[in-house]
Amino acid sequence: MKKITALLMALVMLLSFAACGEKEPANNPAGENQSAGNEEAQQTTETPKPAGLATGEWENNLGKFAVALTGAELFDDEDGAKAIRVYLDFTNKADSHTTSFTDEKNDVILMQGEEELDETDAPYGEDVAEYGNHKRNVRPGVTIRCIYQFALKEETGTVNFSLTAKKQENAVITYDFDLAALPGAPAEAFVAKEIAAPDFNNGWPESGEIKDYYSGQAQHNLVIKNAEFVDGVNDTKLIRVYFDFTNNKDEATDLFDAVDLRIFQDGIQLEEGQANELCESDFAFSRDVEAGQTVSVSNVYVLISDSPVEVEANDIWDDMGLAKVFTVG
């Protein structure tokens, strides 16, 4: 009994000394900051960020590219089955090309045992913000976060991830995921780096002739006129861009098919949106224009920031085109 009592007293004294050692003088702000810093460091150690799971680079005829595997998480897909969502940060390191992280350029494969997993989708209305980003074009030097989603065969075990660039023999990245200990989604939401003064197409005119996308003939005239900012469905902010389009072919066509239009913000191609209030010129964007006719058309795109918006009509036959920059606000 005496030994137990002595041990208990020693433990109480030890805890008292420890408590005193943690106290800082009331007039010592530096000590307070150090304590806060220690707590923050401890939290970081306990919940590490998933960034940097694996990285890789590759090069082809278009240029050099880099990718980082930044996270993975489980979710229920559109069929109610368990699925895995993988996050990848893709960087275009080419000098002069705009490109995307598409299936045409890369093979993203997940294996569970000897079986290759099939891609799947989240339930309607439950897509994460990165959905579809792998199809967006990005400027040189720009990074975009992409996702791939696969239905699982089993809810336990290991899933092997591999990324192989087209025409490359070896995988750019391989990684084994333990389904019982996935790193989760990236700790920080992806935010594109601001490009406050875009000049990718500096010197391109705002109007002129542009060759037909399919035939390569100088058969169209296009004017990038003006733009306005409108509200879209699901609280999105949109830019509506207006064009004058003249069809100089000998058959009907529409602007959507005839010209390669791309809209960028912060070096990332914007996706089309849906305005709360449509106007007649929106419908004309994909409506056939008779030979020799000129029409005013418009289309809306979802903004991702407050940076300037680049509108470009690419002439893929001459590596030139038309362009105009609009300031948001």
Entry pTM: 0.80
Q: Is residue 238 located within the same domain as residue 312?
A: yes
Residue 187 lies in a domain: no
Residue 313 lies in a domain: yes
Per-residue pLDDT of the chain (329 residues; tens, 9 = 90+): 433 344 334 443 333 333 333 333 333 333 333 333 444 333 333 333 334 699 999 988 878 999 999 999 999 999 999 999 999 999 999 987 778 888 677 889 999 999 999 999 999 999 999 999 999 999 999 999 999 999 999 999 999 999 998 877 889 999 999 999 999 999 999 999 999 999 998 889 999 998 888 888 777 999 999 999 999 998 999 999 999 999 988 889 888 888 999 999 999 999 999 999 999 999 998 899 999 999 999 999 999 999 999 999 988 777 789 999 999 97
CB atoms under 10 Å from CB of 16, counted, come to: 10
Rg (CA), the chain: 27
Q: What pLDDT is stored for residue 63 in this prediction?
A: 86
The domain in which residue 268 lies consists of 207-326
Domain boundary among 129, 158, 178: 178
Q: Is residue 247 located within the same domain as residue 302?
A: yes
Q: Is residue 168 located within the same domain as residue 231?
A: no
Q: What pLDDT is stored for residue 101 in this prediction?
A: 87
Looking at the DSSP bridge assignments, the partners of residue 261 are 313
Q: Which residues contact 105 (CB under 8 A, 6 or more apart)?
A: 60, 99, 165, 166
Residue 297 lies in a domain: yes
Q: Is residue 216 located within the same domain as residue 129?
A: no
Q: Is residue 233 located within the same domain as residue 170?
A: no
Split into its structural domains, the chain has a count of 2
Residue 68 lies in a domain: yes
Give the closest residue to 269 by CA, choosing from 311, 317, 231, 233.
311
The angle at the Cα of 254, spanning 265 to 260, to the nearest 5 degrees, equals 35
Residue 46 lies in a domain: no
Q: Is residue 155 located within the same domain as residue 80?
A: yes
CATH number at residue 165: 2.60.40.1240
Looking at the DSSP bridge assignments, the partners of residue 65 are 58, 92
The C-alpha atoms of residue 186 and residue 86 are separated, in whole angstroms, by: 10
For 275-287, what is each residue's pLDDT tens digit? 999 999 999 988 9
Owner of token pair 């000129």: 294
Residue 247 lies in a domain: yes
